Chain A
């Protein structure tokens, strides 16, 4: 058992993460071709517009569809469907917590690959200042509120049905993920109504910004992702967790330097064990880069599954 633990803690984490991300990417984007169907409540961007290839559907899409039902239906018996959907989403989410973002999300994986490309081209990356960070971090909550309220307005007859899935309309996954299976139909502006025109144009603008942003800023889009905000609301229910033992932390700052999301608290906070912040993608790079024995740990149902060790740190640092 001890040897297994040592092997896990000393793993070549970047390589392990690369292969796991690739496996999730292929599974979620192309799994549908192999008759994989995980339902419509996945807590990650397994885009519903990828109708043939997807192995399941992003919960945000089905939630927005459900909230756009006419109010008498939504607040009637059909409310059970919404509650059931949320329950299934929570069951999936409880398994991996925000690691759905750090390991499974196809859009996140694409951003990591764009980051790799940037690094190989020798272009330096950007970071937000703490002031920018504090201001920008609220955007995902705003987007989540809009993604829930606008469909409700449609159900109440106040808004155009062309805004039935407002976040999906502007989500770059709508353009990018179906493209990976040969469906290019979303790279268009829909001129059929003014609302459709504005929303489809916004989607394409966001997609343009996605590529540019991901090239200079690690995990650029995750910072604004409403799925990340939704995850954080329920993160206390999840089994997989990130914990920190402040007494063992020397505040060397390695964890902050490797953090794709620029979360300063991971290095600074030493007074609370539950260190996971709302922007965290639970990529566990902080654990892999920490040289202090047991200072950072990933636990599943309270059982440590990956923790920082001096030996693991040295092994990873000495890797050519």
Chain B
């Protein structure tokens, strides 16, 4: 074992020995619409339906009632669901009219969750803000989730309904910029560019490191530019064998940004000498249609059918053409 390996092993052992709260402090807090697994096995029907397993479903886009859960962890795949009694913050919903609607957590389920009723089609933002003082620093954790009430049937969707919302009262916020053609059923797919803005009380914040983590663990850290923007291309990380491929396979991505300020003060009778803001935004991405749709096969098949059909009809008609044969009637008969 060389020096580097020894140091790595020692660091790892030390990390394991650290008290749990210290580990939790570095773990991101984020909201998601994916409900906790119910130990339901994936059935043949789930596969045939091309859906994710029943254990991983989210509320339907057109559903009026939506639920959000809270998770803690940096790994979207393994982050644990937060118990209801471990949450000190409050959740509110921002609609496109700028109204802030407080959301009461559900009391029955053990994992923390909130349920909301969405009257109008379009995007809403849900925020959970938690504050606590740790090691002389006021930790402000902001978990945000973009809630969408969508439909595939309604036409004439106003641009206002697909606008990305932001809340100027939130100290640090990540806003996913919506594509100009984005509708109420648009999905992010592998290969799409996701552009995010980092906002500090509604104003662009430059030079803030933003981390994007995909469900398979790919991580990228980029700094926001002068306009507070940062762009990622969603990578393709879904490679099942053909018979296991699900076009509605949904992976989760998690984006986070942190900012620390040397501002002293007192919070909840506890003094602090700095404030650290951590904001998160999660979302889902799906396989690109390029992974399972083929123009070459489609057009090839149509042309083959048309060419074969056309040739068959032509030959059939040619075969039925009888050569001219003169028939003479005997006038004397």
Contact = CB atoms under 8 A, between A and B. Distances in A.
B306 A211 contact: yes
Interface in A161-218: 161-162, 175, 184-185, 187-196, 200-201, 204-205, 207-209, 211-213, 215-216
B155 A32 contact: yes
Interface in A207-236: 207-209, 211-213, 215-216
Contacts of B305: 204-205, 208-209, 212
Contacts, number: 97
B40 to A, nearest CB: 14
B321 to A, nearest CB: 11
Contact of A187 (B51, B295, B309): B295
Contacts of B309: 208-209, 212-213
Contacts of B295: 184, 187-188
A51 B247 CA distance: 21
Interface string B280-316: 0000000001001111011101111110011001000
Contacts of A62: 153
B293 A188 contact: yes
Interface string A26-40: 000000100101001
Contacts of B306: 208-209, 211-212
A191 B247 CA distance: 9
A251 B294 CA distance: 54
A193 B48 contact: yes
Nearest to A40: B153
A137 interface: no
A207 B294 CA distance: 16
A189 B294 contact: yes
B298 A191 contact: no
Contact of A35 (B153, B156, B294): B156
Per DSSP, chain B at the interface is helix
Nearest to B183: A51
Contacts of B239: none
Contact of A185 (B48, B289, B303): B289
B292 to A, nearest CB: 4
Interface in B137-171: 152-153, 155-156
B45 interface: yes
A193 B50 contact: yes
A204 B302 contact: yes
Contacts of B304: 208
A160 B298 CA distance: 22
B242 interface: yes
Interface in B37-52: 45, 47-51
A203 B115 CA distance: 41
Nearest to B292: A192
Interface in B249-283: none
Q: How large is the interface on B (under 10, 10 to 19, 20 to 34, 35 or more residues)?
A: 20 to 34
Contacts of A205: 301-302, 305
Contacts of A208: 301-306, 309
Interface residues of A, number: 39
B232 interface: no
B71 interface: no
Contacts of A200: 298
A190 B247 contact: yes
Given A193-B247, A200-B298, A204-B305, A37 B293 contact: no
A178 B45 CA distance: 31
A69 to B, nearest CB: 12
Nearest to A158: B45
Contact of A192 (B156, B246, B299, B310): B246
Interface in B104-155: 152-153, 155
Contacts of B299: 187
Nearest to B185: A51
A191 B293 contact: yes
A191 B301 contact: no
Given A189-B294, A204-B301, A207-B302, A162 B50 contact: yes
Interface in A15-68: 32, 35, 37, 40, 51-52, 54, 57, 62
B247 A187 contact: no
Contact of B48 (A161, A187, A191, A201): A161
Interface core residue of A184, A188, A195 (most chain B CB under 10 Å): A188
**Most chain A CB within a 10 A radius of its CB, from B51, B245, B298:** B298
B183 to A, nearest CB: 8
Contacts of A212: 305-306, 309-310, 313
Interface of A: 32, 35, 37, 40, 51-52, 54, 57, 62, 126, 157, 160-162, 175, 184-185, 187-196, 200-201, 204-205, 207-209, 211-213, 215-216
What are the 6 tightest A-B residue pairs by CB atom distance, in nearest-first order?
A208-B305, A192-B247, A161-B49, A212-B309, A160-B48, A192-B292
16 contacts: A37-B155, A37-B156, A40-B153, A126-B313, A157-B45, A161-B49, A175-B302, A184-B295, A187-B298, A191-B293, A191-B294, A192-B245, A192-B247, A204-B302, A205-B305, A209-B305
Given A161-B49, A216-B313, 14 more contacts: A51-B152, A52-B155, A157-B45, A160-B50, A162-B48, A185-B289, A188-B297, A189-B294, A189-B298, A190-B247, A190-B293, A191-B242, A193-B245, A208-B309
